[in-house]
Each structure stands twice: as C-alpha cells, then as structure tokens.
Structure 1
Amino acid sequence: MTEETKPMRAPWGDIAPKLTEITDTILFDDVWRRPGLSARDRSMITVASLISLYRINELPFHLGKALENGVTRDEIVEMVTHLAFYAGWPTASTAIGLVRRTFAEADARSASVA
C-alpha cells in the first residue's frame, strides 16, 4: 500500500466510536478520495486552512500527512510565510513552531528506520 493509498483513520475510536466511524467513512474514505484533487493537493489545502483558522490541534497530524502525500518541506514553509500576510503573524508564528516539531519528528522516524 503506497502512502497516498494508506487510509487515514480517526484516533479516538476508544472514546467516540460513532464519531470515528463517520470520520473514517465520510471524511477519510469519501471526501479525501474524490477524484477531483490529488491527496497532495488536498493536503496543501487542508494545511493552509488549518493554519489560517488557527486549528493547532489538528495541524500536526495534517502536516505529517502532507509530507507523506508529497508536499515538500520548502512548500510547507512557504505556505506559512505566505499565510502570515493573510491569516496573521501570530498564526504563522504558531504554525512554524508546529512545522519545526513535525519536521523533527519525521527526521527521528527516518533515523530509526535507517
């Protein structure tokens, strides 16, 4: 199974099974797999939206998925830089801290696999 076809799954099945079910079947299986956009494009849109809306709880997960879906580190940093002027400086500042942490975690995972 490639990274692009690897299914995303909600992480709260232990406490909210119905929310998990509808998240997995509607959001991750239907919305994310529609043919109109690639997973990479959807990741870029999602990350930009989460940054703009200051959704810092969901951002780390989607930053990781963006990397898995082929969005480059340079592109992610450029999105944050661009959004600083549209979503606000504090929003971008918070996002870049989460980006740094996500990159470090990805590096640590790569090092442990190598």
Structure 2
Amino acid sequence: MAENPKQVGGGRKMFGDFAPKLAELTDDMLFEDVWNRPELSPRDRSLITVAVLTAGGNTEQLGSHLGRALQNGLTQEELIEAITHVTLYAGWPKGMSAMGVAKSVFTNNT
C-alpha cells in the first residue's frame, strides 16, 4: 500500500500571532495527529470533511477543504456528487450554498 502524503495544517500561518493556542491545536492535534492517523486515508478524511461541512452549513471552511480534497485524490465530479447527496439529507439551502463554494473553487482552479 502506498504511503499517504502527510497532512499539514495552516493554523499557525493563519492565526499564530492572533490566537496562538487555536493555531497550535489546529496544527498539532487536528492535522498532525488526527488527519495523519492510518485508519483512514487522506482521501476518505477529505470526503468526510466535505460532507460534514456541507451538512453543517460551514461554508467558510469548505473552500480550503475542497482544495485539500482535490490534492488528496478526489475529483471534482466526486465532490459535486457528494455535495448533491448530502443536500438531500442536510437541507437544500446548505447544499446550494456548498455547491456555490464548490463552483467558485473549481472554476478558479481550472
């Protein structure tokens, strides 16, 4: 089995000087520990994260995680399908908002 690329957070870069503890937890716990556990691949973790962010209506974080999902091997088509699927369970407004973020990310990436 191929080794997965190490997942690295950006907490210190974003908030290190403003909210150092949050930056530390983001980088050291969320990414260094949880995202790099071998029980799930980064691809699977990205798919789960996109689904949860969509279901929760957390579009502020969705754009960066869609980019990470592409880096972790998911395709635009798979991500669009995941958002479509989640929409029917989580609610139309959340799904439409998430799809707007995906459209913006994907059309700016090409």
The TM-score normalised by the length of structure 1 is: 0.86
Answer yes or no: is the 8 Å Cα contact 2:54–2:83 preserved in 1. Answer: yes
- RMSD (Å) for aligned C-alpha atoms: 1.4
Aligned-pair CA distance for 1:6: 5.1
Q: Kindly report which structure 2 residues correspond to 1:18-97, keeping only aligned pairs within 5 A, or say none.
A: 18-97=21-100
Distance 1:103 1:33, change over 3 A: same
Aligned-pair CA distance for 1:22: 1.4
Identity of aligned residues (%): 46
How many Å separate the matches in 1 of 2:95 and 2:83? 6
Answer yes or no: is the 8 Å Cα contact 2:36–2:42 preserved in 1. Answer: yes
Structure 1 segments of 4 or more deviating over 2 A?
3-6
Q: Does 1:101 pair with 2:96?
A: no
Structure 2: runs of 5+ lacking an equivalent: none
How many Å separate the matches in 1 of 2:34 and 2:23? 15
Structure 1: runs of 5+ lacking an equivalent: 108-114
In the alignment of these two chains, the number of paired residues is 105
The TM-score normalised by the length of structure 2 is: 0.89
Greater helix proportion: 2
